[in-house]
Structures are given as C-alpha cells and as structure tokens.
C-alpha cells in the first residue's frame, strides 16, 4: 500500500455535508481525502436555494458572512395558495433576519459548494475531483476504504463518511439504505432567470442585499403532489417545482411542462416577466422524512446529509443544506472521537446517531414525522388552496347586495366541496402534523 | 390536463432548455435500458418523469438517449420493472451546472 493512499478519513461527496465534515477533520490535523465526482464541487448539485441557519458555519468560520458567496439574506417570506386564477398569500417581512449570521441566505450551489470545499482545502484536506467512488472496501465486516473508478483507485482509511447525496449508492451498497419507492422521493426542477439587480429590488420590494423566499402550493403543480418556489438571488431568480415522483408518473405530465405552467400562472407571470433563462437543472430529494432515515453507521462507515435522507420537508419547510452541514459536523466529531480512541467499531460510531438525536437534525425529523403524509393529502394539495381562494373572493367581492358574515361565507365555500366531518378530520391532522 | 395544450401557455421546448446546460458527453453510456421489459409497460413512468425528456415510446418501441442526462436518478426510481441500469458517468463527465 502506498503511503499516499492511506488517509485518516475519507469523505465521499463535496456537497455541504461532505465539505463541512472534511473541514472539521482537517482542522483537527487529520489526513483527509475529499472525493467528488464532479469537475468541481457543486457541478452536480442543485438546491432552491435558501441556506437556512447559516450560523451553523460560524463555529468553523467566525466571519463567514464577509466572504461566503451569498446572494441575499432573507427578510421576506411568502406562502401562497394558488387557485386556478387567483392567489392567497401570507407575506411576512422582518428586519430581525437582517443581521449576521442571518436566518437564511440564498446561494448558487456551484459557487457556494466550491467555496466551502475550498475552506476544507485551506485547512489541509486533499480534494480529489472528477473521481467517482464506486464501492467500499471491507475487511470482514469493517469498512476500510473506497474503490474509485480509476486505475489504482483503492484508497484506505479507518473511517469513511458517505456524503454522496440523494442517490447514495454507497449507503445502499453498505446495506444501510434500501431502494426508494417513487412515493418517498421528489424531483426538483429549477430554472435560473436573469432579471438584474434593479428589477429584483423593485419587483420584490427589497433594498440592498435583502432577499425573498416564496413558496407556492395548490395550482402551482396542477393535480400533482408538490409545490413550487421562487427565491431572489442578487441579479437572478431561482424558481422551480418540487413534485412527488409517483404522482408525476400517475398524472402523466412532464416536469418541464409543469414548470412552464407555474411560470404562466397569472400570479407568477408578472414576477418572472422578461427574465432570461440562464440554466435549467434537476435533482432528486429524499422527502420521505423520518421513515426514510436509515441506519446511520456501521464499523468504519458513517452516512451524512441527503445520503441519510436527512432532509426536513414539511410543507412550508424545505431544509436540506443546513441538515447536511449539521450532520457533516456530527459525523466529523464522531470520526475524531474514534481516532482518539483508535476504535472504529460500530459501537463507537453509533455515537453519531446520539449526536444527531441531541441536535435539531433528528429531533425535527422525528417531531414532524407525520407531516409528509399530511402534506401529501389529496385535498390539501389540490382542493383547499382553490377553496381558500374562492372564499377570499367571496369575502372581497362587492356586489351592492347584503353581505353574509365572514365565517358563514368561508364555511359555505368549504362545505360546497367537503363534508364537515372531512374538514374536521383534516383540521385535526393538520394540527398533529404541524401545530401540536 | 387540457389547458396544457391551449395556446395561452407558451412552453419552451425542452431541447432549448438543455442547450443552456453544459454537458461533457462520454462515449460510454451511463444508463442502459433493457427495452424488452418496456413492451407492455403501460404507464411508462420514465417518459413522464424525466426532466430532460430523454425517454420516448415511438411505434411501440422505447427510444432513449443518455447524452443530456441531468443525473437526477428519477427514471431509475420510477421504473417499477427495474429495466433501467443506472450508474454515475465517469468522474468529471456528464452534466456540470454553472448558474444554479
Ligand atoms: C430543487 C431543489 C430545491 C431545494 N431547495 C432547498 C433549499 O432551498 N434549502 C435547503 O436547505 N435545501 C434545499 N434542497 C435540498 C438540498 O439541496 C440538499 O438537502 C443538500 O444539497 C444535501 O447536501 P449533501 O451534501 O448531503 O448532498 P449533495 O449536495 O447532493 O452532495 C453530494 C455530493 O456527492 C457527490 N457524489 C455523489 N456520489 C458520489 C460518488 N460515488 N463519488 C464521488 N462523489 C459523489 C456529488 O457530486 C455531490 O457533490 C433542495 C433540493 C432541490 C433538488
Ligand atoms: S418505466 Fe421502465 S419498463 Fe416502463 S418503459 Fe420506462 S424503462 Fe421501460
Ligand atoms: S437520471 Fe434524470 S435526467 Fe437522467 S435520464 Fe434519468 S430521469 Fe432523465
């Protein structure tokens, strides 16, 4: 075995999970290989993308906000229920999210991922790009390295961190993750449109580096289960749809047609008007939630980020990057501890799960474990947004006739399509999924 | 959905969108479809889920190209007959996003 093929830790995948793990490990003085199949970190990666809780990085990079390639910080959050021809929005502004480290910032992954991986390299990690890891190497039950797809491609380390994203072949090969069903996975399809700084500020009522994160449900994805998003970057918009794969197949509508439909909606078209499409992209998202989280470790191996389905997708929330960073950090700390004790057994590495259980990562996923099923409720997806818009129309309509009281207007609209019993049951489920 | 075909919806052909994306196409395909299995597959989910529109049934036969694959893995998850053999392209090949 060549000396240079032996590392202390091998991290597969230079997304947010892998790069933050590599950064911590390299800082601690370990020999770290960070292996990425893309030409550069971020080349294969797609997010909406709002990076929530960026303060997670402050521990590692105390003034990261001065140098990280962020687009805008989020001070405006909008949730819109789209009907066929109407829209009902909850629009929230706050200056309280305008101070570093910020509550959420928009990023472009090819830039952001490259920057974060660069930080790991500065700390001493060896970044190996354009290299696919095809398999894990074992000694008995213990993972002892990885097999890269190239001549002489075996690399060895007593701990491997698989941070290889939603399509994690490594977690599956190691017997930790199973095959996914089309109900558990979503497809995100996105376009980046150039509008210019001035237009974005004016159109979205923003000043300086403020930004908006806007999510849409209902008619946004027609009869297909899912939602849509529109985020402001510095001079571009990121917009896209996220749809359940099974639902897409059943309804027989192509994702790009759906995206076009969203762009053409009367409430959306004026926002994207004159935008020049710069890029079209797509990626899978493990949105199954708690039930998709696999065993997270075995001897010599830890799984982090999307590879472990650590994505918080609960209706109004879609957070994966911060979950990826937090799990990457927890994986790195676990690997450090294993090195201190020279013990890479499954028992020691199971400390990783405990760390995640103490952090928001597994707590949020567990607490909101009923939400994916609730969010996929047919009525919530298609009926209620439309009814909400209809009720609003009744409330705001002035016809020169006596009005009914609001409660009776709303109830009449809802009950025209759903029984009181169903309404109550859905209300109860909404409560269980999101409120209590 | 009827209104998809209506003239009020201007759709951009997928080919035009894919022209905006950088691909470094390997001669070796990273996806293989065992098309025997596709005969008699009624729902043909691959045709409707692929965000690059790379699957098409023409004259009862499955036609597929891998060159403009966005590497999302959706087709592989959607095909219940497991007719799709899927691996990542060689390191550095395939799609490279720049502006996303
Ligand atoms: C359309 C869309 C919108 C989203 N919006 C948001 C959002 O607004 N906010 C948010 O927080 N999250 C969002 N997400 C989710 C977020 O993108 C992911 O949760 C996050 O990227 C996970 O990070 P990761 O490091 O675990 O995996 P990834 O970012 O997927 O990184 C995995 C890396 O591993 C590499 N790799 C994979 N296999 C191998 C291999 N065998 N060998 C070598 N390298 C390999 C890949 O090239 C990649 O660089 C969105 C996702 C999508 C698709
Ligand atoms: S879903 Fe699978 S079996 Fe059906 S047509 Fe597509 S590739 Fe063939
Ligand atoms: S991986 Fe995605 S883009 Fe590539 S062929 Fe399959 S569905 Fe289409």
Q: Is B91 in CB contact (< 8 Å) with chain A?
A: yes
Letter string b/e over residues A374-411, b meaning 16 or more CB atoms within 10 A of that residue's CB: bbbbeebbbbbbbbbbbbbebeeeeeeeeeeeeeebbe
Q: Is the pLDDT of residue A1 over 70?
A: no
Residue to mutate, B44, B61, B75, B85, ligand 2, most ligand atoms under 8 Å from C-beta: B44
pLDDT tens by residue, A180-202: 999 999 999 999 999 999 999 99
Placement of tokens 């909400």 in the chain:
A388
CB atoms within 10 A of CB A180: 20
pLDDT-derived band of residue A387, with 50, 70 and 90 as boundaries? confident
Helix-strand-coil split of chain B, %, nearest 5: 25, 20, 55
Q: How far is the alpha carbon of B49 from chain A, nearest alpha carbon, in Å?
A: 6
Give the phi and the psi of residue A16 in degrees, each rounded to 5: -60, -35
In this prediction the ipTM stands at 0.93
In this structure, the dihedral spanned by the alpha carbons of residues B81, B83, B87 and B89, taken in order and rounded to 10 degrees, is -140
How far B1 CA sits from the closest chain A CA (Å)? Answer: 8
Find the range with the poorest average confidence among A104-113, A221-230, A395-404. Answer: A395-404
Q: Which of residues 25-84 of B touch A (CB under 8 A)?
A: 43, 45, 48-53, 70-74, 77-78, 80
Residue B3 confidence (pLDDT) above 70: no
For residue A30, pLDDT over 80 is answered with: yes
Residues facing A121 on adjacent strands: none
Token pair for A323: 């979950």
Helices (H), A282-396: 321-340, 346-349, 351-358, 360-367, 371-375, 378, 384-396
Q: Does the structure show a pLDDT above 60 at A342?
A: yes
Least confident of A40-54, A222-236, A417-431, B69-83: A417-431
In tens, the pLDDT along B48-67 reads 999 999 999 998 899 999 99
Verify whether the Cβ–Cβ distance B90 to A249 is below 8 Å. no
Residues A102-126 have a mean pLDDT of 98
- DSSP for residue B3: G
Across the interface, whether the CB atoms of A249 and B51 are under 8 A apart is answered no
Asked if B51 and A132 come within 8 Å (Cβ–Cβ), the reply is: no
The whole-number pLDDT of residue A143 equals: 98
Per-residue pLDDT tens over the stretch B9-49: 457 899 999 999 999 999 999 999 999 999 989 899 999 99
Q: Are A228 and A242 in contact (CB under 8 A)?
A: yes
Are the beta carbons of B9 and A284 separated by less than 8 Å?
Answer: no
How far apart, in Å, do the first and last CA atoms of chain B sit? 29
Angstroms from B100 CA to nearest CA on chain A: 5
Residue A233 Cβ inside 6 Å of ligand 1? The answer reads no
The answer to whether residue B2 scores a pLDDT higher than 50 is no
Residue B25's Cβ-count burial label (10 Å; 0-12, 13-18, 19+) is middle
Place of tokens 């992954």: A109
Residue B82 has pLDDT above 50, yes or no: yes
Nearest CA to ligand 3 atom 5: B69
Please report which confidence band the pLDDT of residue A2 belongs to, taking 50, 70 and 90 as the band edges.
low
- What does the pLDDT look like over A398-410, one tens digit per residue? 888 888 888 888 8
Rama region for B44: left / alpha / beta (φ>0; ψ in -120 to 50; rest): left
**pLDDT attached to residue A4:** 62
DSSP per-residue string spanning B44-82: -HHHHH-TT--EEEETTEEEE--TT-----HHHHH-TT-
The pLDDT value given to residue B7: 39
User: Which tokens hold the place of A79?
Assistant: 């949730």
Q: Report the pLDDT averaged over residues A255-266.
A: 95
Mean pLDDT of chain A: 94
Quick one: A171 exposed, middle or buried, by C-beta within 10 A (0-12, 13-18, 19+)? buried
Confidence at residue A3, expressed as pLDDT on a 0 to 100 scale: 55
Average pLDDT over residues A240-253: 95
Q: Span A316-325, mean pLDDT? A: 94
């Amino acid at each position: 075995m060549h000396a240079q093929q032996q590392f202390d830790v091998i991290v597969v995948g230079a997304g947010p999970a892998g790069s933050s793990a590599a950064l911590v490990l390299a800082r601690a003085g370990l020999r770290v290989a960070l292996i990425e199949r893309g030409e550069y970190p971020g080349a294969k990666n797609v997010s909406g993308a709002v990076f929530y809780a960026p303060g997670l990085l402050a521990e590692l990079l105390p003034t990261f906000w001065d140098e990280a390639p962020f687009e805008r910080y989020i001070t405006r959050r909008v949730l819109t229920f789209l009907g066929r021809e109407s829209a009902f929005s909850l629009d929230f502004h706050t200056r309280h999210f305008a101070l570093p480290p910020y509550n959420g910032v928009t990023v472009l992954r090819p830039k952001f991922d490259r920057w974060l991986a660069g930080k790991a390299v500065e700390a001493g990690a060896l970044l190996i790009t354009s290299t696919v890891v095809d398999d894990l190497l074992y000694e008995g039950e213990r993972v002892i390295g990885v097999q890269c797809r190239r001549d002489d491609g075996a690399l060895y380390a007593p701990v491997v961190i698989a941070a290889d994203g939603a399509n994690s072949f490594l977690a599956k090969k190691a017997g930790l993750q199973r095959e996914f069903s089309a109900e558990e996975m979503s497809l995100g399809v996105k376009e980046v449109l150039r509008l210019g700084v001035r237009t974005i500020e004016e159109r979205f009522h923003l000043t300086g580096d403020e930004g908006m994160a806007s999510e849409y449900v209902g008619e946004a994805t027609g009869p297909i289960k899912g939602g849509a998003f529109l985020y402001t970057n510095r001079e571009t918009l990121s917009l896209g749809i996220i749809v359940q794969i099974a639902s897409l197949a059943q309804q027989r509508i192509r994702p790009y047609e759906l995206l076009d439909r969203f762009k053409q909606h009367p409430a959306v078209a004026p926002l994207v008007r004159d935008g020049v499409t710069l890029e079209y992209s797509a990626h899978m998202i493990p949105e199954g939630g708690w039930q998709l989280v696999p065993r997270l470790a075995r001897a010599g191996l830890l799984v982090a980020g999307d590879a472990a389905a650590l994505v918080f997708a609960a209706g109004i929330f879609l957070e994966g990057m911060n979950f990826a960073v937090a799990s990457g950090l927890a994986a790195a700390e676990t690997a450090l501890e294993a090195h201190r004790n020279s013990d890479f057994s499954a028992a020691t590495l199971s400390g990783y799960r405990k760390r995640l259980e103490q952090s928001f990562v597994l707590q949020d996923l567990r607490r909101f474990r009923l939400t994916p099923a609730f969010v996929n409720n047919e009525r919530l997806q298609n009926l209620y947004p439309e009814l909400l818009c209809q009720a609003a129309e009744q409330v705001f309509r002035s016809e020169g006739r006596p009005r009914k009281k609001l409660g009776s207007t709303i109830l009449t609209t809802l009950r025209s399509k759903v029984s009181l019993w169903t309404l109550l049951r859905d209300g109860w489920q909404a409560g269980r999924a999101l409120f209590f | 959905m009827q209104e998809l075909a209506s003239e009020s919806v201007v759709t951009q052909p997928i080919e035009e969108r894919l022209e905006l994306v950088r691909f470094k196409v390997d001669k070796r395909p990273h996806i293989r479809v065992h098309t025997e299995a596709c005969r008699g597959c009624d729902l043909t989910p691959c045709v409707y889920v692929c965000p690059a529109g790379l699957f098409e049934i023409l004259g009862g036969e499955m036609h597929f190209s891998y060159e403009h694959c966005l590497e999302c893995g959706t087709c592989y998850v959607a095909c219940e007959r497991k007719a799709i053999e899927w691996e990542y392209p060689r390191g550095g090949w395939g799609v490279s996003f720049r502006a996303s």
